[in-house]
Structure 1
Amino acid sequence: MKLSYNKLWKRLIDLDWTKEDLRKKTKISSTTLAKLNRGDIVTTDSLLRICEVLSCDLNDIVETVHEDLAEPTTRNDGKLAD
């Protein structure tokens, strides 16, 4: 199972914020922002700070994705990735 922060990125677009705006307003580190960009796990504290600044709940910015249900990815040559 993986985490997806697509809801967070969509919310930032709606607010016309950059990821750097989010980092500054929530006071999360650049390392945490990089983890979010990669879809890595970050601390609950960081996610709650984001929720506080955005006035939302966790399920408004993050969702779980079951890897076996995820869409297959393709390589640059159009073939399915392993």
Structure 2
Amino acid sequence: MSRTEYREALGLSTATLAKLGKDQYVSMEVLEKTCRHFNVPLHEVVVFELEENKEI
């Protein structure tokens, strides 16, 4: 599936697709749509890595 097909299938904006490509924050709604579309659990879609010396 191409990025464009993925964006269209889930009804995502081009801005959201760009954020995904840059490893930036996206909403839980986007993650939920992705999981439901591909019928996979969240841990198959998300990797959480702590960055050293980064304040929250």
TM range (shorter): 0.7 to 0.9
Aligned residue pairs, count: 52
Pick the structure with more strand per residue: 1
1:38 to 11, 22, 36: 22
Q: Which has the higher Rg, Structure 1 or Structure 2?
A: 1
One-letter amino acid of the counterpart of residue 44, structure 2: D
Secondary structure of the 2:24 match is: coil
SS in 2 for 1:31: helix
Percent identity over the alignment is 25
Structure 1 vs Structure 2 CA RMSD = 0.9
Deviation at residue 21 of structure 1 after TM alignment: 1.1
TM-score if structure 1 supplies the norm length?
Answer: 0.59
Structure 1 residues not aligned, in runs of 5+: 1-16, 69-82
**What letter corresponds to residue 20 of structure 1 in structure 2?**
T
Quote how far apart the aligned CAs of 1:19 are.
1.1
Instruction: State the AA in 2 paired with 1:28.
Output: L
Q: Specify every segment of 5 or more residues in structure 2 that has no aligned partner in the other structure, as ranges.
A: none
SS at match of 1:48: helix
Q: 1:26 — aligned with what?
A: 10
TM-score normalized with structure 2 length: 0.83
